[in-house]
Amino acid sequence: MVISQIQQSMLTETLVIKNEVHEVKRLSAFLKSVSQQLDVSTSVANQLRLAVEEAVVNVIDYAYPIGTEGDINIRVLSDGKTVRIQIIDKGQAFDPTAMQRADTTLSAEERNIGGLGILLVREQMDSMNYERTDGKNVLTLIKKIK
């Protein structure tokens, strides 16, 4: 006998912002609200904010050619035990999961430029996945919250 269970999300929230740096304020307020709704610890809230803001700022800075406007969709889904955050944009294809980990054992002068933001996201989240679907970058970040 096969029993199928459908788990309903306890939280589903979406924010759409433009690829402009001043939109990070709206993102920060959105993440604060989500963290409060999820009733997570200050530590987890800070990890979520840090990782998501870093990933979104990378989209703002690099996904679209200079002078091109674009939307960034941030979707948050949670079942109360984990939170799944999807960052979706129609910018240039870029898979951050394919990037080599930044070598933090080297001095700043010896290291290649870039990669520290992606390292930060990886360290704050339990899982980071990327796919390119229908001309969109979909970065999914997952964090256990309980």
pLDDT at 98: 77
- What is the C-alpha to C-alpha distance for residues 50 and 87, in angstroms, rounded to an integer? 14
Residue 3: is its pLDDT beyond 50?
no
- What is the C-alpha to C-alpha distance for residues 50 and 82, in angstroms, rounded to an integer? 17
- Condensed to tens digits (0 to 9), the pLDDT of residues 48-88 reads 999 999 999 999 999 998 889 999 999 999 999 999 999 99
Confidence category of residue 2, pLDDT binned at 50, 70, 90: very low
CA distance from start to end of the chain: 31
For domain 11-144, give its CATH number from 3.30.465.10, 3.50.50.60, 3.60.15.10, 3.30.565.10: 3.30.565.10
- Edge-first strand listing for the sheet containing 127-133: 11-18, 71-78, 82-89, 136-144, 127-133
